[in-house]
Structure 1
Amino acid sequence: MPSLTLKAVEKWFGEVQVIKGVDLEIEEGEFVIFVGPSGCGKSTLLRMIAGLEETSRGQILIGDRDATAEPPSRRGLAMVFQSYALYPHMSVRDNVGFPLKSAGLPPAEIKEKVDEAARVLKLDAYMDRRPKDLSGGQRQRVAIGRSIVRDPTAFLFDEPLSNLDAALRVEMRYEIAKLHQTLAATMIYVTHDQVEAMTLADRIVVLEFGRIAQVGTPRELYERPANLFVAQFIGSPKMNILPAAHVRGLTLADGTVDVGIRPEHITLGMDGAHVDGVVDILEYLGADTFVVVDCGEAGKLTVRVAGDTELKPGDAVGLIFNTTRTHGFDSAGLAVS
């Protein structure tokens, strides 16, 4: 049985529709991530699942129970927000145990659950500190611990790492991945950072203007995007897109208007090149260098090469596509095979 099901879910703010008929099943124990550009509706959809936003139309089922009209307190879900929302005057122990104390559990049971959460999140050494004495990553772990003790049906994360610096984001991605392995709990996570989505998710839900553009594993979305939007949203750098009319020597499916090719699927060489160009800029990243090539009417294409390349701006190059890794898109932006 799915852990959570959305059936034709809609959200209206007055005359403005922000969620436009979303259907989705999330299996028990699955880690699902909502991604999309700002304003696509990903946080609104998460808040509807949590019960923090009213569902205008459609159904939200938790297990086999219709929870559409239930208040947040009845849904059995735990939400971790972008802001840590910790009580500054309380110790870590009291912050983590606060939901249980509010529910009237016996002190011995509260201590047992809080100690277990502290063990899982490696907070044992910080239990007597106050939030002001913790780093950003430690505060986020306390916020997660407060959710764990409730033993929820599912965890909901709303951009939980966006307030952290780059190094802490990497550390907390690892912590959250390990937490999912340890708890085997259903997790629904919102982020604008596709690296978080690609590294953490079992499945990714890509949203565009309140609709699902595609659902799939990170690999499925990367290797088989359903449309131009997904092709260019998933992947960093994004997929190169160029008009099919400016590509030489490719056998294309009927209806192909645009050709997509990822930077790592292009090699440089003059013989048999599908497109010619001139090196515009180089972005050195250590092991890799991204070479931006100006291909005239075909546009500027990015090529991933070895970090120690001797190319320089102004060099004439030919771009050879891996023909088994090209993508065709029709005039509506949909993938063609």
Structure 2
Amino acid sequence: MASIELKGAEKWYGQVQVIKGVDLEIEEGEFIIFVGPSGCGKSTLLRMIAGLEETSRGQIMIGGVDATSKPPAERGLAMVFQSYALYPHMSVRDNMGFSLKAAGADKAVIKEKVDEAARVLKLEALLERRPKDLSGGQRQRVAIGRSIVRDPTAFLFDEPLSNLDASLRVEMRYEIAKLHQTLGSTMIYVTHDQVEAMTLADRIVVLEGGHISQVGTPRELYENPGNLFVAQFIGSPKMNVFSAAAQGLRIAETLPAQAQHVGIRPEHISFVAEGEGAFDGAVDVVEYLGADCFVIVDAGDIGQINVRVEGETTLQPGQRLGLSFGPEYTHTFDAQGQALKS
């Protein structure tokens, strides 16, 4: 295990700056997830830590040692990519032990480490198979096992589940969470899927346009987003946001004077009689999901509002009603999109 620290890290491609002075401290054994939309710089930042991309300015410290100019092989890190990159002619055992064999490790040591990694990842019964005989989830576990046998100081994951279908992604999320509990290793994980981020991370680093927008635990980011970008990126479905000056909003006088935008999570809205609550609207669409329903309401100038309802609902499209929410669940943001203190 090792701590990792970024000090003013920048990445330039010619005159274009894609990573803009990132400062970040990652503690030993911490599971950190970089999340953000496509093009925000999350994979570039991960590759800079790995040494696969040169750091234009700033420092990358690994275990308290400046590793900024070190090649990837000298950083003691293991990277798991989006593609499995397994050798098709080799067995699972040979794929997992290849890096140790290439380094000249003793056969007995290789066998011991491969067997231990296979035990952790529940791959014992698959060690003699070839990659073509494995499912996508099994191939990804082999790719992770190949990293484990190297006994790295930290694991780097670059969108490892994006090639899997929905059910396999859920299964592999569980496997990776259990792996972190078992190994206790430092892990940095890149994804564009905020559900993966919320379920796996000790802390989430939200990136926007090459800089850090906010860092915090999943609960901190969900309950106390620091700005409008984080508020709408974290959470599924996303936070409802509307103008504080919208026509038909009956709580405008209770909002802070600087408030330009109002946000409310779908689960924090309740239905009341028309004319009561914060504003009125008409049911547009009802989405039945089994345990929950999402009711999408057309609220005129306020816009479309998504409401989460537990269980079933008798609401029908076209039905008019009021929408209410408590001040303790209301988020407000200024003209620059920064959260206002309540």
Shift of residue 2, structure 1, vs aligned partner: 6.8
Partner residue of 1:299? Answer: 303
For residues 338 and 2 of structure 2, the distance between their equivalents in structure 1, rounded to whole angstroms, comes to: 29
Partner residue of 1:62? Answer: 62
Unaligned runs of 5+ in 1: none
Partner residue of 1:335? Answer: 339
Give the count of matched residue pairs.
337
**Residues 1:254 and 2:262 aligned together:** no
Cα-Cα RMSD: 1.1
For residues 10 and 257 of structure 2, the distance between their equivalents in structure 1, rounded to whole angstroms, comes to: 36
For residues 158 and 227 of structure 1, the distance between their equivalents in structure 2, rounded to whole angstroms, comes to: 26
Partner residue of 1:273? Answer: 277
Partner residue of 1:148? Answer: 148
CA deviation profile, 1:283-312 (whole Å, cap 9, x unmatched): 111111111111111111100113310111
Q: After TM superposition, list the pairs within 5 Å mapping 1:1-337 onto structure 2.
A: 3-246=3-246, 247-249=249-251, 251-270=254-273, 272-337=276-341
For residues 292 and 10 of structure 2, the distance between their equivalents in structure 1, rounded to whole angstroms, comes to: 44
CA deviation profile, 1:148-207 (whole Å, cap 9, x unmatched): 000101000000000001110000000000000000000000001111000000000000
Q: Secondary structure at the match of 2:101?
A: helix
CA deviation profile, 1:241-263 (whole Å, cap 9, x unmatched): 01112331362223111110000
Unaligned runs of 5+ in 2: none
Q: Secondary structure at the match of 1:108?
A: helix
Q: Which range moves more in the overlay, 318-327 or 206-215? A: 318-327
Q: Secondary structure at the match of 2:328?
A: coil
Contact 2:287 2:295 in 1 (8 A): yes
Contact 1:155 1:187 in 2 (8 A): yes
Amino acid across the alignment from 1:316: R
Q: Secondary structure at the match of 1:324?
A: helix
For residues 276 and 200 of structure 2, the distance between their equivalents in structure 1, rounded to whole angstroms, comes to: 39
CA deviation profile, 1:113-159 (whole Å, cap 9, x unmatched): 00000000000000000000000000000000000000101000000
Shift of residue 63, structure 1, vs aligned partner: 1.2
What TM-score do the two structures reach when normalised by structure 2? 0.97
What TM-score do the two structures reach when normalised by structure 1? 0.98
Contact 1:2 1:25 in 2 (8 A): no
For residues 310 and 291 of structure 2, the distance between their equivalents in structure 1, rounded to whole angstroms, comes to: 6
For residues 316 and 99 of structure 2, the distance between their equivalents in structure 1, rounded to whole angstroms, comes to: 60
Percent identical across equivalent pairs? Answer: 75
